[in-house]
Amino acid sequence: MAFIADRLSRIKPSPTIAVTTKAAELKAAGVDVIGLGAGEPDFDTPDNIKDAAKAALDAGKTKYTPVAGTPELRKAIVAKFKRENDLEYTIDEITVGCGGKQTLFNALFATLNPGDEVVIPAPYWVSYPDMTLMAEGVPVVVECQEENDFKITAAELEAAITPKTKWVVLNSPSNPTGAAYSRAELRAIADVLLKHENVWVMSDDMYEHLVYDGFEFTTIAQVEPKLKSRTLTCNGVSKSYAMTGWRLGYAAGPVELIKAINKVQSQSSTHTSSISQAASVEALNGPQDFLKERAAVFKERRDLVVKAMNECEGLTCKKPEGAFYVYPSCAGTIGKKTPDGKVIETDTDFVTYLLESEGVAAVQGSAFGLAPYFRISYATSTEALTEACARIKRACAALK
């Protein structure tokens, strides 16, 4: 009898974490590496948020909290949804977890029975399929084409839904492409979902505040209120507020679902850090002006990287609406040889070549379900991005 559970054979470690770890190991060994793999803002957590955490420590707020989160934090989340998304919830419809990832995992674990299907548009965040498999569900991956800006169309969604479909995952703006769904695109998707009353929507809005060029962010329960009763709207403080290490995500949905999520969490992490919760109250209730300031910096970085990638031999790159990623195609490098005679056969070969030849760490598109592409995170300094782009250009020029 095997000691390790069979369910682990169905999943793989996170490729994005693997790339980040590899880059850190090489740096520690003295190799000059520029890491473009991590989805982590280089900005620091704002001082008012850190001060709120210090005040919570001084006030002795270091004890257990309710599983779903402190009442103060859930009230702040309720206010955020009303203020920014015109969505009304009660605190009983809010759950708080150890990062957005745990909230999504809890929801799938609490609702999926063996064989239940989850429609996942690709390119996808790497954890969606594996979390589905962990919960004994079936990922139904729909490849979204570059000509459709990597977004699922209403027709593609309709074709993917079966009697076994329980969830559809929408991630906007997207990790890994940065693509964001317009109100009109969400309207078309909502029209499909209205016809399938047993299908729920998992709306991952983690990059909500990182949109550019006047793009108007909307979430599906806002676009179609009739779907609110079967939508889990997920968000968190990690990306917008530069609080990745604080590990706090949250979600809003029907009370029955939220109770099930909390039941799962009660037997795992119980709750996230009491200090992280106190800090997040300040993040959501405090000044928000820095969000636009930081988004403006990310936009400049996006424009820099998109321009540079389109100047590289064999690469093409679309300009996304949001997040802090670009998803260039490396199709033009496939079949070429590296200076030491190796043939680039896949996008994995290409990112391996970038790392080995120029010390640039990126993530292959196959990890996100659509090849031959690769993901660049531009959540790093402009100086590092400029140098990384120069190295990528040099690497592409050396292919023959």
Give residue 133's identity as a one-letter amino acid code: L
Closest C-alpha among 327, 345, 347, 321 to residue 335: 345
Phi, psi of 169 (to 5 degrees): -100, 130
The parent domain of residue 116 ranges over 62-285
Please state, in angstroms and rounded to a whole number, the distance separating the CA atoms of residues 3 and 24.
Answer: 31
Looking at the fold, whether 186 and 317 belong to one and the same domain comes out as no
The answer to whether 208 touches 235, Cβ cutoff 8 Å, is yes
Distance of CA 49 to CAs 70, 84, 236, 242, 277, Å? 17, 20, 14, 10, 11
Looking at the fold, whether 234 and 335 belong to one and the same domain comes out as no
Note whether residue 55 is domain-resident.
Answer: no
Looking at the fold, whether 276 and 302 belong to one and the same domain comes out as no
The answer to whether 221 touches 203, Cβ cutoff 8 Å, is yes
Note whether residue 53 is domain-resident.
Answer: no
Is residue 142 packed enough to be buried (19+ CB in 10 Å), middle (13-18) or exposed (0-12)? middle
Looking at the fold, whether 237 and 141 belong to one and the same domain comes out as yes
Note whether residue 93 is domain-resident.
Answer: yes
pLDDT value at residue 19:
74
Distance of CA 121 to CAs 97, 103, 179, Å? 24, 19, 12
- The whole-model pTM stands at 0.95
Looking at the fold, whether 151 and 165 belong to one and the same domain comes out as yes
pLDDT digit string (tens) for the chain, length 400 residues: 889 998 888 888 877 777 778 778 888 888 899 999 888 999 999 999 999 999 999 999 999 999 999 999 999 999 999 999 999 999 999 999 999 999 999 999 999 999 999 999 999 999 999 999 999 999 999 999 999 999 999 999 999 999 999 999 999 999 999 999 999 999 999 999 999 999 999 999 999 999 999 999 999 999 999 999 999 999 999 999 999 999 999 999 999 999 999 999 999 999 999 999 999 999 999 999 999 999 999 999 999 999 999 999 999 999 999 999 999 999 999 999 999 999 999 999 999 999 989 999 999 999 999 999 999 999 999 999 999 999 999 999 999 9
Q: Which CATH number is 10's domain given?
A: 3.90.1150.10
Query: What's the N-to-C CA distance of the chain in angstroms?
Result: 51
Last residue of a domain, one of 285, 306, 333: 285
Please state, in angstroms and rounded to a whole number, the distance separating the CA atoms of residues 231 and 347.
Answer: 35
Read off the DSSP letter of residue 45.
P
Q: 180 is written with which tokens?
A: 């964001």
Looking at the fold, whether 159 and 216 belong to one and the same domain comes out as yes
Tell me how many domains the chain contains. Answer: 2
pLDDT value at residue 329:
98
* Secondary structure element (H or E) that encloses residue 109, with its range: helix 99-111
The answer to whether 233 touches 203, Cβ cutoff 8 Å, is yes
Looking at the fold, whether 189 and 304 belong to one and the same domain comes out as no
Please state, in angstroms and rounded to a whole number, the distance separating the CA atoms of residues 157 and 189.
Answer: 7
Note whether residue 302 is domain-resident.
Answer: yes
Dihedral over Cα of 316, 321, 326, 331: its sign? negative
Last residue of a domain, one of 267, 285, 303: 285
Please state, in angstroms and rounded to a whole number, the distance separating the CA atoms of residues 163 and 157.
Answer: 13
Looking at the fold, whether 180 and 222 belong to one and the same domain comes out as yes
The answer to whether 84 touches 252, Cβ cutoff 8 Å, is no
